[in-house]
Amino acid sequence: MTAVPHQQIDPAVSAFLAKPRGHWIDNKVVAGQGGKVAVYDPARAEVIAEVPDGTSAEVDAAVAAARRALEGEWAAARPADREAMLYRLSELIAAHGEELAQLETLNQGKSIMMSRMLEVGHSVEFTRYMAGWATKIEGSTLDLSLAFPPGVRYRGMTVREPVGVVGAVIPWNFPLIMAVWKIAPALACGCTVVLKPAEETPLTALRLAELCAEAGIPAGVVNVITGRGETTGAALVSHPGIDKVAFTGSTEVGKKIGHAAIDNMTRFSLELGGKSPVIMLEDVPVEMAVGGSAMSIFFNQGQVCTAGSRLYVQKRIFDDVVGALGQAASAMTVGSGFDPNNQINPLVSERQQKRVCGYINQGLAAGARAIAGGGPGDGPGYFVKPTVLVDVDHSMSVVQEEIFGPVVVAMPFDDLDDVAKRANDTVYGLGASIWSNDMGKVMSLIPRIKAGTVWVNTHNMIDPNMPFGGFKQSGYGREMGRAAIDLYTETKSVCIAY
């Protein structure tokens, strides 16, 4: 394993880590009064920072700041002002790109290339895209047929208003991207935000909040409160001062959050887990099938909500594709994300490493066979070898449950009926991919797959302009594109008699 050479760390990252850590409320660092949460470098299993474990009083203070901003200076900002501020934020993310990328790799573990290209690159483009929406929100005028009283005519219109104070709770797999996915559309729509990052990965969200202030976004519009999910997160999502909960995370926690939100009739959207099928039809060249399957599952160490964790390969090419995939997985280099040559980097935490290895062991105990990987990589970091399991039964936990690690189960299928049935045979419905150049077959499969996104000859591709979300237990609501505007606005109908 390659350790992180200290001299390569950007001085801005060291300076940020050396500063006293607190919550970010009203554009100021606010010290926590409760306990602390240790933040790790998962490649070395070392503590790199501590953040406050937010108390309910601290959540109250953040929500109050967001409410003051919503009803004060932020309400007075014109759409063009919001657009300009978000645009400045995108420029600042780009200008501080190397610092943010290094901070992310240090704390999350992912490849520095992915941090640069995706965490930073996508965040810049997404924020810029959402900046544009601030000036394009519209309602409609409506012809009305009301008949009474005689002689009176009516005109209706709809107006989009900001939904209000947003409580956003996000996971640790793409920490910076998840933060901008919540903050940018909320601000474009005129909302204010209290964001709780995952306890494992709070650092880039805290740095992003500083950049929001530098972009001229007024105090109280973006607040970040750190802490654990079951305490700080639960206090935020059940807070009566929150108008909307925007959650990304596991289905298990998403259900709890939905229940908590409905008690206050708080609006909510849930982006949850997945167990996405990758379907390789027999016309796909073996090399393409292997590259596509590997990219679908091993990207970000499989810690991707749409990870292609169930691979269905048509019988005629199954042995060739899966054999070559096993060889490719066994040859992957495992090590620190700071060495761009490493293809598999650590998982985010020891807890996640144990969880993933626990699933692998369950699969092996139930009769599955590992043709690659099958357990942890060399420590001290939280590595798991890229793993390909075969001889699985569809009822096994490794086939049905989200593992969220570099583990794929590979299964042969006979025909389109067989694969459509099995692709839909989990509680999830987030993503799916179909690989083939036989467009007749592809087009007949697309409507049969119950998933929020179906990719064809690609996987895991997410664009700011394409709605994203889940069918079934993978979520509620759609992010991205115009759909994001629906999430962060209320529709008001106006009826004018004249």
Catalytic residues: 271, 305
Is residue 169 within the footprint of ligand NAD (CB under 6 A)?
A: yes
Interacting span for ligand NAD (CB under 6 A) from 76-84, 140-148, 233-241, 337-345: 233-241
Asked whether the CA dihedral 253, 223, 181, 137 is positive or negative, the reply is positive
Query: Residue 224: what are its φ and ψ, rounded to 5°?
Result: -125, 125
Closest to ligand NAD by CB, 171 vs 374, is: 171
Could you give the CA distance from residue 313 to residue 227 in angstroms, rounded to a whole number? 43
By CB under 6 A, what part of segment 374-413 binds ligand NAD? 402, 404
Distances (CA, A) of 174 to 107, 280, 333: 11, 27, 22
Closest to ligand NAD by CB, 256 vs 422, is: 256
Could you give the CA distance from residue 365 to residue 362 in angstroms, rounded to a whole number? 5
Strand duo 431-435 + 453-456: pairing: parallel
Pick the closest to residue 321 from 308, 334, 312, 330 (CA basis): 312
Could you give the CA distance from residue 303 to residue 355 in angstroms, rounded to a whole number? 12
Query: Binder to ligand NAD among 173, 223, 336, 433 (CB under 6 A)?
Result: 173
Query: Binder to ligand NAD among 42, 52, 190, 233 (CB under 6 A)?
Result: 233
Could you give the CA distance from residue 258 to residue 242 in angstroms, rounded to a whole number? 13
The β-bridge partners of 344 are 334
By CB under 6 A, what part of segment 174-213 binds ligand NAD? 196, 198-199
Interacting span for ligand NAD (CB under 6 A) from 139-147, 203-211, 247-255, 385-393: 247-255
Closest to ligand NAD by CB, 90 vs 238, is: 238
Is residue 257 within the footprint of ligand NAD (CB under 6 A)?
A: yes
Site string for ligand NAD, 264-293 (x = CB under 6 A): -------xxxx-------------------
Q: What would the DSSP string read from start to end of 273-291?
A: ----EEEE-TTS-HHHHHH
Site string for ligand NAD, 455-494 (x = CB under 6 A): ---------------x----x-------------------
Contact partners, residue 417, CB within 8 Å, separation at least 6? none
Closest to ligand NAD by CB, 196 vs 459, is: 196
Write out the residues near ligand NAD by the rule CB under 6 A: 169-173, 196, 198-199, 228-230, 233-234, 237, 248-250, 253, 256-257, 271-274, 305, 402, 404, 430, 470, 475
